[in-house]
Amino acid sequence: MRERVLGPDHPDCAQSLNNLAALCNEKKQYDKAEELYERALDIRRRALAPDHPSLAYTVKHLAILYKKMGKLDKAVPLYELAVEIRQKSFGPKHPSVATALVNLAVLYSQMKKHVEALPLYERALKIYEDSLGRMHPRVGETLKNLAVLR
């Protein structure tokens, strides 16, 4: 319906595609979810600024899907892009940047690329401590991830 009213390239259509992709993902219809996330990403790339948070949202969810599908090599550049977008959108010391760094570090850990994961966890930890405080649960989670890695 949104496509008919707003046109197929409207950012609101991308949100609907994201929602449908999430539903397909939940139903384990991964190929359909991939197609929908890619369509949403294409719309957002054309309609939004390259540092728009909604672009990072779609990129992250497509990366999560690729990770779930075992397409780890396709997930890496998307997680890296999510970090870049969040840094540009929110600044390099924002907690959402730390979350994106942790997402990438977890993927690298899963791929047994511990050398790549370690500095990402360390940077995320510093951001979380500085912005959220040492007692925040995300600090504890990141410390746990670091301990497992070491």
Q: Mean pLDDT, the chain, as a whole number?
A: 93
Q: Structurally, how many domains does the chain consist of?
A: 2
Residues 32, 51 share a domain? yes
Q: Could you tell me if residue 52 is left (phi over 0), alpha (psi between -120 and 50 degrees) or otherwise beta?
A: beta
Predicted TM-score (pTM) above 0.85: yes
Residues 97, 70 share a domain? no
End position of a domain, from candidates 82, 111, 133: 82
Domain range enclosing 106: 91-150
Residues 96, 140 share a domain? yes
Per residue in 4-13, pLDDT tens? 666 667 778 8
Per residue in 36-71, pLDDT tens? 999 999 999 999 999 999 999 999 999 999 999 999
Residues 72, 44 share a domain? yes
pLDDT above 70: percentage of residues in the chain:
95
Residues 150, 101 share a domain? yes
